[in-house]
Amino acid sequence: MSDSNAITLTPANIAELCERVDHAQRTATAMPKLTDDFPSMTLADGYAVQQALRHKHLATGARQAGWKAGLTSKAKMEQMGVHVPSIGFLMADMSRPEGSTVRTDDLVHPRVECEVAFVTKADLSGSDVTREDVLAATHFVMPAIEIIDSRFSGFKFDLPSVVADNCSSARYVLGGRPRYAEDIDLSTLGVVMEKNGQPIAMGASAAVMGHPAEAVALLVKVLDELGEKLPAGSLVLSGGITEAIAVQDGDHVIARYQELGTVAVNFGN
- Where do contacts with ligand 0L1 occur on this chain (CB under 6 A)? 70-71, 76, 80, 113, 146, 148, 150, 162, 167-168, 239-240, 244
150 is in the binding site of which of Mg ion, ligand 0L1, none (Cβ under 5 to 8 A by kind)? Answer: ligand 0L1
Closest CB 47 distance from ligand 0L1, rounded Å: 14
In the complex, the residues that contact Mg ion under the rule CB under 5 A are: 70, 113, 146, 240
Distance CA 118, CA 115 (A): 10
Residue 118: alpha-carbon gap to chain centroid: 13
Q: Closest CB to ligand 0L1 among 122 and 246?
A: 246
What three-state secondary structure class fits 160? helix
Closest CB 72 distance from Mg ion, rounded Å: 8
238 is in the binding site of which of ligand 0L1, Mg ion, none (Cβ under 5 to 8 A by kind)? Answer: none
Q: Closest CB to ligand 0L1 among 180 and 237?
A: 237
168 is in the binding site of which of ligand 0L1, Mg ion, none (Cβ under 5 to 8 A by kind)? Answer: ligand 0L1
Which residue has the closest beta carbon to ligand 0L1? 70
Alpha carbon of 60 to those of 30, 144, 149, 205: distances in Å?
24, 27, 22, 36
Residue 110: alpha-carbon gap to chain centroid: 13
Closest CB 136 distance from ligand 0L1, rounded Å: 25
Closest CB 110 distance from Mg ion, rounded Å: 12
Residue closest to 163 by CA, chosen among 104, 222, 110, 205: 222
Q: How many Cβ atoms are within 10 Å of 210's Cβ, its own excluded? A: 12
141 is in the binding site of which of ligand 0L1, Mg ion, none (Cβ under 5 to 8 A by kind)? Answer: none
In terms of residues, how long is the chain?
A: 269
- Relative to beta strand 138-149, strand 110-120 is antiparallel
Distance CA 143, CA 67 (A): 15
Distance CA 254, CA 218 (A): 28
Q: Closest CB to ligand 0L1 among 141 and 148?
A: 148
